[in-house]
């Protein structure tokens, strides 16, 4: 940084800051970040841990499992039902129970809209807790791509 001292007395002294080196440093940093920016990874390859099949926790026999099939069929613990009778049937099953927990299991190719509809009907029947059951992955070596979600500009 430089200083221009034109007059020796303090009343007329003028001091100026030399900002050229500061601008040079900022430009270099800007170029560095512009080069590094596109090379930042947007996703990470990861392996999803699978539980040991022997230690898999299954719902107890007293629990209610609502199965949603691709063809629109519903089952409550293996008993066939339909969309119109699901709500009243769930209310009837849980009428005398203190533990109001139900599980919803969808087939692997079922639309999530159908699963969400079943959850909505069950919650509308007065069930406080609804859990989701999934099938275990067959080969045990699941890979997924975790993507970072950036806010849209």
Domain membership of residue 14 (yes or no) is: no
CA dist., res. 94 & res. 130, Å (int): 13
Per-residue pLDDT of the chain (153 residues; tens, 9 = 90+): 455 555 555 666 677 888 888 999 999 999 998 888 777 666 666 666 676 666 655 555 567 889 998 887 898 888 888 888 888 998 888 888 878 888 898 887 888 888 889 999 998 888 888 888 877 666 555 444 433 344 443
* Domain range for 128: 57-133
Contact 44, 146 (CB under 8 A): yes
Q: At 20, list the tokens.
A: 């050229």
Tell me the CATH number at 103: 3.30.420.270
143 domain residue, yes or no: no
Q: Give the total number of structural domains in the chain.
A: 1
Q: Is residue 1 assigned to a domain?
A: no
pTM of the model: 0.51
Minimal CA–CA distance to 86: which of 115, 59, 113?
115
Question: Which residue is it, tokens 């001292």?
Answer: 5
Nearest Cα residue to 118 out of 152, 76, 148: 76
């Amino acid at each position: 940084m430089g200083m221009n001292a034109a007059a020796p007395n303090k009343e007329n002294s003028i001091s100026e800051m030399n900002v050229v080196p500061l601008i040079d440093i900022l430009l270099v940093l800007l170029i560095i970040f512009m080069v590094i920016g596109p090379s930042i990874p947007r996703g990470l390859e990861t392996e999803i841990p699978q539980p040991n099949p022997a230690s898999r926790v299954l719902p107890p026999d007293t629990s209610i499992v609502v199965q949603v099939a691709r063809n629109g069929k519903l089952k409550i613990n293996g008993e066939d039902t339909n969309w119109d009778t699901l709500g009243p049937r769930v209310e009837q099953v849980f009428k005398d129970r203190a533990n109001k927990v139900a599980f919803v299991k969808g087939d692997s190719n079922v639309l999530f809209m159908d699963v969400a509809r079943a959850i909505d009907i069950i919650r509308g029947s007065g069930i406080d807790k609804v859990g989701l059951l999934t099938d275990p992955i067959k080969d045990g070596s699941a890979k997924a791509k975790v993507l970072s979600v950036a806010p849209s500009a």
